[in-house]
Amino acid sequence: MVGKAHPTSYMKVGMENMVDISVEFGRLRLSNPVFTASGTCGYAGELGEFMDLDQLGGFVTKSITAQPRMGNATPRIVETDAGMLNAIGLANIGVERFILEKLPALSKIKAAVFVNVAGETIEEYVAVAQNLANQEAVAGLELNISCPNVAKGGISFGTDPEQVREITSAVKQAAGQKMLMVKLTPNVTDIAVIARAAIDAGADALSLINTFTAMVIDIKERRPVLANRTGGLSGPAIKPIAVYLVNKVYNEAAKERRIPILGMGGIRTVSDALEFIIAGASAVAVGTGSFVEPACAARIVEGIRKYCADNGIASVKELVGSLGE
Amino acid sequence: MVGKAHPTSYMKVGMENMVDISVEFGRLRLSNPVFTASGTCGYAGELGEFMDLDQLGGFVTKSITAQPRMGNATPRIVETDAGMLNAIGLANIGVERFILEKLPALSKIKAAVFVNVAGETIEEYVAVAQNLANQEAVAGLELNISCPNVAKGGISFGTDPEQVREITSAVKQAAGQKMLMVKLTPNVTDIAVIARAAIDAGADALSLINTFTAMVIDIKERRPVLANRTGGLSGPAIKPIAVYLVNKVYNEAAKERRIPILGMGGIRTVSDALEFIIAGASAVAVGTGSFVEPACAARIVEGIRKYCADNGIASVKELVGSLGE
Amino acid sequence: KHGDKTTVDILYCVVGPATLRMTTLKARDKVSVIGPLGNGFTVPEGKKKVFLVFGGMGTAPVQHLAKLIMEGRRAGEIEIVAFAGAKTKRGLPFEKPMDEISEQLGFAIREFARYGIESIIATDDGSAGFHGLVTDCFLQWLKENKLEANSAIIYSCGPEPMLAKVAQIAGDRGIDCQVSMERRMACGIGVCQSCAIECRLEGSNETTYKMCCEDGPVFDGREVVFDHEFARIAAKKN
Amino acid sequence: KHGDKTTVDILYCVVGPATLRMTTLKARDKVSVIGPLGNGFTVPEGKKKVFLVFGGMGTAPVQHLAKLIMEGRRAGEIEIVAFAGAKTKRGLPFEKPMDEISEQLGFAIREFARYGIESIIATDDGSAGFHGLVTDCFLQWLKENKLEANSAIIYSCGPEPMLAKVAQIAGDRGIDCQVSMERRMACGIGVCQSCAIECRLEGSNETTYKMCCEDGPVFDGREVVFDHEFARIAAKKN
Ligand SMILES: Cc1cc2nc3c(=O)[nH]c(=O)nc-3n(C[C@H](O)[C@H](O)[C@H](O)COP(=O)(O)OP(=O)(O)OC[C@H]3O[C@@H](n4cnc5c(N)ncnc54)[C@H](O)[C@@H]3O)c2cc1C
Ligand SMILES: Cc1cc2nc3c(=O)[nH]c(=O)nc-3n(C[C@H](O)[C@H](O)[C@H](O)COP(=O)(O)OP(=O)(O)OC[C@H]3O[C@@H](n4cnc5c(N)ncnc54)[C@H](O)[C@@H]3O)c2cc1C
Ligand SMILES: Cc1cc2nc3c(=O)[nH]c(=O)nc-3n(C[C@H](O)[C@H](O)[C@H](O)COP(=O)(O)O)c2cc1C
Ligand SMILES: Cc1cc2nc3c(=O)[nH]c(=O)nc-3n(C[C@H](O)[C@H](O)[C@H](O)COP(=O)(O)O)c2cc1C
Ligand code: FES
Ligand code: FES
């Protein structure tokens, strides 16, 4: 059992250097299991002031679409108990400008770069994937079929196993050698069914969870606070649901197919990250947590190293899916 | 628009007495729209010390099954950010003892009494309903097809429209003249589909939401904190999702069929309750909020009266489903 | 600055969960602050007449601007007139009650009078100063006084409908105008796109979103698309 | 009680979110408290020898019990011996360091010595007092001393495995024993069924759940089903 070893601080110093926190994420080997989540860290440049991006295991960009998108009207966010709603509406500069203006900087960081791909039609998704397939700086694509904040596309692709299969295999083909990670929505009856559909259609990895569709009402005005009416709930509020879903997908879909999971939803501390890893995630992503503390992800990397050292765990890989009876 | 009228305090005092906070809930007329939620207020007697139960509009009992149930092993609960997980496992004294020991006291309160009915098979549900059909103290039944904390029955009935139809019509028949309210789970892809299935099969009212399946992991022991491994997430954390789902069910199922909704999920303040009412709930229930403050529901009743008075609203009925563009 | 310590005063108004949490802070609590973020008001060369038009808690930043100008190198060249708006007398965000004589002399607000700045108050209900909106009060002043538009500039901070009106007044008369905008912000550093402000692209009819946290909060009055119905319309279009 | 005010001391240990929040309270903050809830230790007539066996923060309630007994009407008839357990010397929840002479005299803990109560310390690592579990220390005392079981009673509070051991020791020797149990509680008033404790039904092999908040926290040592594997087993059965 963990927690019973009590090395002296001298030993700990030694241990921390000996601990291996690198992980295998499909065919990628990452220096550590911590990513930033899509939409919460821009295109990397902005965060550089607050944290050394080389410390991250992976970096996921804001969703990119074939054409630039202005996004929704404001208010686009509202705070809730232990969480927030957002309805940004996939505001982004479009894949062409992304490649020209943002990718060069991204190519310099050590973290594995995943570009989050979104669209309103399968063709749009495919177009973005084709554009990125030959970009060396890109380690993989994250297929966003789970955005609750756009009228067309987005989540509607992610709730029906048949559509998941179709879009996944289309994008897989377009993505060439790039690793394809499919991002799942929690707004479904059985997430394992969707996970298996994605895997069957060629997904190399799964990421979960995206946000829950939700609403906050201004009781004075008697209308929704967000201009988009609804938004996606993220943050610590959803963490226990996210941990459960990661464990479910791990047990019922990912484990036997050896498909790695990127777990997220409310991660803010080392202990939150470890819950996801123990539940079955090979890596974790920090989203809303970065708003409260821009260097949150980097702090978690160090915390994981310390946890392993303190508990005599030689490699963080031992922890993945180690949830006991 | 609300919030623009500024009566003097003298007028307010007058207004508060003139305001009508009674609601029609199907064919029941309730003195006000506030209930206690199933499982969070026992069988009423226990709460009597902390609040005058006659102040409530409605009272929903803990789930009752055909046979007594001991419930799950402990720990049965764990606190989370702005919420809690529970896995009580439908511990209850069984319908026979309930009628003998608990119903007499319940028959004395003015609030409309709904008995929450649960089971592992349709036959069990029917048996409980038959036992209650002739009890005068019972205003209606709440059909719990959404409990995530039992191995058999519970939520499995509530996620498939076909099963919802089957169990609803079976219990409807057994329930005789009693009002039948069906309690929906949020753990589905499209809650409106389930809502329509219940209505088609004879539901007189809908209540939502029950809890979200969730998990908290003890990272030292590397196992779930709850003995049942998973539990149901309730409390303020889930409120924005619950408000959205109530609004969705109202717009896509309940409104045109004139089926009242009992809205719940994280209600703790007057303003929370009003969000649900504006979203489309004819009445609201306080669950986890009663643990923090046993008299929470009664305080909300007074707050609703005050809100109406302050805003020149003659009847709370005007607010139901009044969400604007 | 006191020796090796820097002291910062934070003037805030409780409007939501974050500011409510701030009230629970006690002495010696540690808070982590990222800043300064975004831009600020700028005073272009050649400006001789400065108008401050503000309402509610919008007072805080313009009061600070007035202090900077009057303590700065160009203090001698610049004349400031401040217009403060509030719903009622009690809503004025100033500590001390006004004194009637100063008010008649045009120095209604002590915080400004300290720097010799003329100040005029408007209340929606007329319980103090001008009876009406602060923007109507400002308009009346403009009617009653001669002004060389080129060397004048308006700084405004407060509720958005007020900013819209001020920007319109400025636009109509060709007076430069800087407005300090407000949006709900999640990250404050330009990564989340939550604080979008619709802005006109120069020399075109098209608009783009700028980020209030990074590109603002101060924008040129001509640039911002103030359309209160915009939010609703856009939402319906989707 | 001070005049018309009643003062209550709350001794608590930070173990989770609720106790952590308690640390943020400041003087004059208002808190709403419901209580007292549940039962407490009772001292049946005829008891002459009282053993207190406790560990960690379980010290708080038994220390209070000792005070009540020694200040009560039967103080003269009753003799108390206290056994305090901790992992290490530093883990002992007492304010002042022990003094060696008192320790040799059997009055290791000042808080008890004040009332003339004999006290013995056990630490898991032997850094103070007896080297080993507090229950082994207690067992050794029982071996070395004569005791009339009927007129003795044991009160215990602390980690559940310790309570289980104490209850077993008591059961084996026919000594009355009251254990103060702990469960995660949501409501505290018997409505939510979260704090279940499996108890034997008298005169049968069956068990039932009692509620720690309402029927406890103090239970008869014979009544409680201490089975650490129970939780897991039951979970698997479902
Ligand atoms: C860059 C920036 C800095 C800020 N700094 C601070 C700060 O340091 N501290 C802080 O607490 N807040 C600050 N704010 C918040 C902001 O000032 C307030 O949200 C805003 O002023 C509303 O305040 P209020 O509700 O008190 O105003 P209200 O009392 O609602 O309105 C004040 C006055 O504005 C005028 N007005 C209102 N509506 C209209 C209309 N339709 N047309 C014309 N005029 C109108 C009227 O004269 C009215 O009396 C800042 C905002 C920004 C953008
Ligand atoms: C009615 C009631 C009242 C309470 N009152 C308070 C209160 O006022 N304030 C408060 O903060 N908490 C209170 N508690 C909490 C409770 O006392 C603690 O959760 C518990 O004592 C654990 O404390 P610890 O972690 O410090 O003990 P630990 O340091 O983990 O253990 C202390 C000692 O217990 C013994 N022990 C441990 N494991 C075993 C074993 N397997 N076998 C035999 N002996 C063992 C050992 O001697 C050990 O050194 C109360 C609990 C109850 C039920
Ligand atoms: C402001 C904001 C913007 C987001 N934008 C995107 C996006 O563009 N694409 C996407 O796939 N997910 C997006 N997400 C979802 C996050 O990547 C993440 O899945 C979710 O927020 C849960 O994690 P968290 O609780 O740590 O934030 C966004 C989340 C937030 C809060
Ligand atoms: C401790 C606990 C026990 C519950 N037991 C039941 C139950 O027996 N039957 C049921 O239908 N719902 C049960 N619920 C769900 C609540 O009735 C309610 O639907 C849910 O908690 C959301 O509301 P809240 O956030 O206000 O608690 C229980 C909830 C809690 C927290
Ligand atoms: S607050 Fe995040 S971009 Fe401005
Ligand atoms: S804590 Fe609710 S029944 Fe004991």
- Identify the weakest region by mean pLDDT among A136-150, C158-172, D86-100: D86-100
DSSP state, A73? P
Residue A170: the pLDDT is: 95
pLDDT(B50) > 90: no
Residue A4: the pLDDT is: 38
Whether C189 and A62 lie within 8 Å, measured CB to CB: no
pLDDT(D237) > 50: no
- For residue B41, the one-letter residue type is C
| pLDDT confidence bin for B11, thresholds 50/70/90 | very low
pLDDT(C232) > 80: no
A115: which strand partners? Answer: A141
- Spatial CA neighbour of D56 closest among D87, D81, D80: D87
| pLDDT confidence bin for B264, thresholds 50/70/90 | very high
Q: Which of C18, C191, C193 minimises the CB distance to A71?
A: C193
Q: What ligand has the least distance to the C-alpha of A226?
A: 3
pLDDT(B87) > 60: yes
- Spatial CA neighbour of C186 closest among A231, D189, A199: A231
Do C235 and A228 form a contact (C-beta atoms < 8 A)?
yes
Question: Which of residues 182 through 221 in chain B touch A, CB cutoff 8 A?
Answer: 187-190, 212-217, 219-221
Residue B154: the pLDDT is: 59
Angle at B105 between CA B102 and CA B110, to 5 degrees: 130
Question: Environment class of residue A95 by beta-carbon count within 10 Å: exposed (0-12), middle (13-18) or buried (19+)?
Answer: buried
For A124-173, what is each residue's pLDDT tens digit?
Answer: 999 999 999 999 999 999 999 987 666 665 567 889 999 999 999 999 99
| pLDDT confidence bin for D59, thresholds 50/70/90 | confident
| pLDDT confidence bin for A235, thresholds 50/70/90 | very high
| pLDDT confidence bin for A10, thresholds 50/70/90 | very low
Distance CA B248, CA B14 (A): 36
Within 8 A by CB and 6+ apart from C188, the residues are A291, C34, C37, C213
Region C49-70 average pLDDT: 89
3-state secondary structure of D75: coil
Tokens of A128: 């973005």
Query: Regarding predicted confidence, which is higher, D233 or C67?
Result: C67
Tokens of D203: 């005169």
Residue B155: the pLDDT is: 65
3-state secondary structure C143-202: HHCCCCHHHEEEEEECCHHHHHHHHHHHHHHCCEEEEECCCCCCCCCCCCCCCEEEEECC
Distance CA C58, CA C182 (A): 10
- Identify the weakest region by mean pLDDT among B63-67, B120-124, C119-123, D215-219: C119-123
* Strand-strand pairing, A77-80 and A28-30: unpaired
Residue B198: the pLDDT is: 97
Say how many C-beta atoms besides its own lie within 10 A of residue D19's C-beta. Answer: 11
Do A47 and A202 form a contact (C-beta atoms < 8 A)?
no
Residue B156: the pLDDT is: 74
Rounded alpha-carbon distances, angstroms, from residue C181 to A228, C160, C166, C212: 21, 7, 12, 7
Query: Regarding predicted confidence, which is higher, D164 or C236?
Result: D164
Q: Which chains does C contact via 3+ CB–CB distances below 8 A?
A: A, B
Percent of chain C, pLDDT > 70? Answer: 88
Cα atoms found within 13 Å of the Cα of residue A142, Cβ hemisphere only: 33
| pLDDT confidence bin for D236, thresholds 50/70/90 | very low
DSSP state, B53? G
pLDDT(B72) > 60: yes
pLDDT(C16) > 80: no
Residue A239: the pLDDT is: 98
Q: Which chains does B contact via 3+ CB–CB distances below 8 A?
A: A, C, D
Q: What ligand has the least distance to the C-alpha of D182?
A: 2
| pLDDT confidence bin for C104, thresholds 50/70/90 | low
Mean pLDDT, all residues of chain A: 91
Within 8 A by CB and 6+ apart from A101, the residues are A93
- For residue B306, the one-letter residue type is K
Sign of the Cα torsion C211, C214, C218, C223 reads: negative
Ramachandran class of D21: left when φ > 0, alpha when ψ lies in -120 to 50, beta otherwise: alpha
pLDDT(D231) > 50: no
Distance CA B212, CA B248 (A): 17
Do A113 and A64 form a contact (C-beta atoms < 8 A)?
no
- For residue C213, the one-letter residue type is C
Tokens of C88: 């009622």
Point out the ligand 2 atom lying closest to the alpha carbon of residue D93: 26
Q: Give yes or no for A232 touching B (CB within 8 A).
A: no
Within 8 A by CB and 6+ apart from D146, the residues are none
Residue C97: the pLDDT is: 55
- For residue C2, the one-letter residue type is H
Residue C235: the pLDDT is: 42
3-state secondary structure of B243: helix
Give B141→chain C minimum CA distance, Å. 39
Residue A154: the pLDDT is: 59
- Identify the weakest region by mean pLDDT among A23-27, C212-216, C233-237: C233-237
Distance CA B233, CA A250 (A): 21
3-state secondary structure of C50: strand
Say how many C-beta atoms besides its own lie within 10 A of residue C101's C-beta. Answer: 8
Tokens of A263: 């777990």
Cα atoms found within 13 Å of the Cα of residue C198, Cβ hemisphere only: 19
Distance CA A248, CA A252 (A): 6
Region B20-34 average pLDDT: 96
Residue C58: the pLDDT is: 86
Query: Regarding predicted confidence, which is higher, D101 or B316?
Result: B316
For D184-210, what is each residue's pLDDT tens digit?
Answer: 999 999 889 999 999 988 877 788 889
| pLDDT confidence bin for C98, thresholds 50/70/90 | low
Q: Looking at this predicted complex, what is its ipTM?
A: 0.86
- Identify the weakest region by mean pLDDT among A268-277, B192-201, C133-142, D8-17: D8-17
- Spatial CA neighbour of D133 closest among D54, D57, D63, D190: D54
Residue D223: the pLDDT is: 93
For B141-195, what is each residue's pLDDT tens digit?
Answer: 999 998 766 666 556 788 999 999 999 999 999 999 999 999 999 999 999 999 9
> In terms of CA atoms, which chain D residue is nearest residue B292?
D187
Mean pLDDT, all residues of chain B: 91
